[in-house]
Structure 1
Amino acid sequence: MSKSIKYSRTLVDYLMPPKKTRKVKSPLADGCPIGDAGAGCSVSGKNYEIKIAKTCKTVRSPYMELPFNTQPMDTLGGCGADIDIKLNWRAESDIGVEAKRPTPDWMQMKLDKNKEGIWVGVGAGKIPPASKMIFETIIGAANLFGGKTPTFLEHPVTHSEWTTIKKETPEFKDTYIPCGDNTISQLYKAKGCQYIQVDGKGLYHTGEDTCDFGVPYFECPQRVRIRLKVHTRSNKKGHMCLSVMAAAQPTKLKDLKASTYSLDAVAKLPPSLLPAKTSKTPSPKVGPSPKKKKTSSPSSVISNNNLGTLVAGIGDLNI
């Protein structure tokens, strides 16, 4: 039996102003590039987005003359905060799709303690305010790391120092917090995605099948993982770059029932999508050529080599 949690509208209204929290400056902010993307995310994720975009460019919505996708490949979402794939259903870019490969961590959020000692999301712009609030609601008053604060949040540490600390502090191991089977759908719905496209599984909606494709709701056993993520073993000052990260995880993705339709293969596209219209330039009308006497003049050579026909046919080429 699926376990869904219905979050209040306050949490899923991503147009609401962000909750004000005290910004905590990390001691590693200098010379320590910290991001949310995994090491292999940029390559494998980007390639999958390109595959989806290319497939969607071959079709169009029954309501639009434009192809279903018109994004330049260099504007796809990647591992950033942008929507991965934007589609044209009833208006340009009115449908958002999150493209996911079967990786352990899906949406991620960096955590830090505020002045009250409560774990909150940090990193403005990385995820929508409503997604941030969903994470914070799930984490709630969880006693992360047995109440201990990871050392690197208090002062910089070297790799050798951190190795020793980690061995001596079992509380710094990964923590798993249960959450609803619909959490991932709620997180991406708040981001502005009506659909999630999963490699090997197909297309799912995040709460409403806006395009009436007949695809299922994305719902499966899930959890939130809290871990201490290593970004760099040594920055320019010789210190490690680490952060506390929360990530939503589907725990039994292999058992998820595959969707009937998918956006990553032409043969699996929803049948309501139509072939994209081609933009061929109409051929100019060419009248009959006047008869010319056979001579050795240049015009006779052109006519005898049928180049006149080739020139007339250039109008058929879409250059």
Structure 2
Amino acid sequence: MGYNKGDNYEQNIFDLLSSKGLIATGSTRGGAGNATDIKFLYNSQEYNLEVKLDLEADYGQKMLRWDNGIWGWCVDDAVTAFYTSVGVLDIVNAKNFIPNRYSIPRDEITVQQKKQDQKAFEDKLEIDINSLYDFYGDKNCYYIQIGGYGFYHLKRDILHLGTPQLNCKMNLRFRAKTNHSNPVYKYSFYAVLKVDKKGKPKKSYYDLEQRDGRLFPPII
């Protein structure tokens, strides 16, 4: 449901920009892949835009697996490379525990053993916001729209729009999340980056949706 809401919000922003002539003919959204969400037009040139439904949205949930005593990624991509660069694999491997999920025949795992895995794996640490700026900078993405908060720049305001920089605390969370309640072994291990609720950004004075009196950014 969370993905569906986020995808619908992204489509709404795409349609809004399209209605203003700020989407190139034939352009499509990035969707659930690693491509930037939307490309908008400024002086007839395309620029990348990240879109988040709200502050609860994650910045890339990725699954880990344990194999022969070592944690690694189920799938390698740009986000997992970023997570590795900020030390995710070092952190989870330093926990030095043998997960029941990968060391006991799956049909024999009990609820108690699942809870043991959750307690041993789950954790949270703060990530330097500059790491997020660099991640998006490497994707040539410098702007972000967050529902209810507005339009910001990330690493740099490359178009000199006068946007505020997204400034907030980011937490990297480790979760052993239930996929299905039955059978018991249907749970997986994830890393996900989210905004820390105790370090929320100030609302921007620009907003593509122009909510609560905020202005549409000077995109021409």
1:200 partnered with 2:137: no
Q: Comparing both structures, which one devotes a greater share of its residues to strand?
A: 2
SS in 2 for 1:99: strand
How far residue 272 of structure 1 moved from its aligned partner, in angstroms, is 4.3
**For each residue in 1:133-161, what CA deviation from the matched residue of structure 2 results, as whole angstroms up to 9, or x when unmatched?**
33113225325583113222345524x83
Partner in structure 1 of residue 200 of structure 2: 255
**For each residue in 1:179-211, what CA deviation from the matched residue of structure 2 results, as whole angstroms up to 9, or x when unmatched?**
213333333333442211111111112212122
1:153 partnered with 2:102: yes
1:76 partnered with 2:29: yes
CA contact (8 A) 2:29 2:37 kept: yes
In percent, how many aligned pairs have the same letter? 24
How far residue 168 of structure 1 moved from its aligned partner, in angstroms, is 4.4
Within the candidate set 91, 96, 100, 2:48 is matched to: 96
**For each residue in 1:272-309, what CA deviation from the matched residue of structure 2 results, as whole angstroms up to 9, or x when unmatched?**
42xxxxxxxxxxxxxxxxxxxxxxxxxxxxxxxxxxxx
**For each residue in 1:196-234, what CA deviation from the matched residue of structure 2 results, as whole angstroms up to 9, or x when unmatched?**
111111111221212221112222111210111222345
Question: Using the alignment, how far apart are the partners of 2:152 and 2:31 within structure 1?
Answer: 19
Partner in structure 2 of residue 225 of structure 1: 173
Question: Using the alignment, how far apart are the partners of 1:52 and 1:253 within structure 2?
Answer: 27
Question: Using the alignment, how far apart are the partners of 1:151 and 1:72 within structure 2?
Answer: 49
Matches within 5 A, 1:111-260: 111-113=64-66, 117-124=69-76, 127-128=77-78, 131-138=79-86, 139=88, 141-143=90-92, 146-154=95-103, 157-158=106-107, 161-168=109-116, 171-234=119-182, 240-252=185-197, 255-260=200-205
Structure index of larger Rg: 1
Q: Which amino acid aligns with 2:168?
A: C
Q: Which amino acid aligns with 2:131?
A: T
Assess, with a 3 A threshold, how the Cα gap between structure 1 residues 120 and 196 changes in structure 2: closer, same or farther. Answer: farther
CA contact (8 A) 2:130 2:155 kept: no
How far residue 259 of structure 1 moved from its aligned partner, in angstroms, is 1.3
Assess, with a 3 A threshold, how the Cα gap between structure 1 residues 171 and 233 changes in structure 2: closer, same or farther. Answer: closer
**For each residue in 1:222-276, what CA deviation from the matched residue of structure 2 results, as whole angstroms up to 9, or x when unmatched?**
1210111222345xxx674332211111103773111121223397211342xxx
Question: Using the alignment, how far apart are the partners of 1:231 and 1:118 within structure 2?
Answer: 22
**For each residue in 1:110-151, what CA deviation from the matched residue of structure 2 results, as whole angstroms up to 9, or x when unmatched?**
223466x44333314xx42xx423311322532558311322
CA contact (8 A) 1:145 1:172 kept: no
Q: What is the TM-score normalised by the length of structure 2?
A: 0.80
SS in 2 for 1:55: helix
Assess, with a 3 A threshold, how the Cα gap between structure 1 residues 272 and 84 changes in structure 2: closer, same or farther. Answer: closer
Q: Which amino acid aligns with 2:196?
A: T
CA contact (8 A) 1:231 1:242 kept: yes
Count of matched residue pairs = 216
CA contact (8 A) 1:85 1:96 kept: yes
How far residue 173 of structure 1 moved from its aligned partner, in angstroms, is 5.0
Partner in structure 2 of residue 277 of structure 1: none
Within the candidate set 48, 53, 57, 2:14 is matched to: 53
Q: Which amino acid aligns with 1:210?
A: I
CA contact (8 A) 2:109 2:185 kept: no
1:271 partnered with 2:215: no
CA contact (8 A) 2:154 2:166 kept: yes
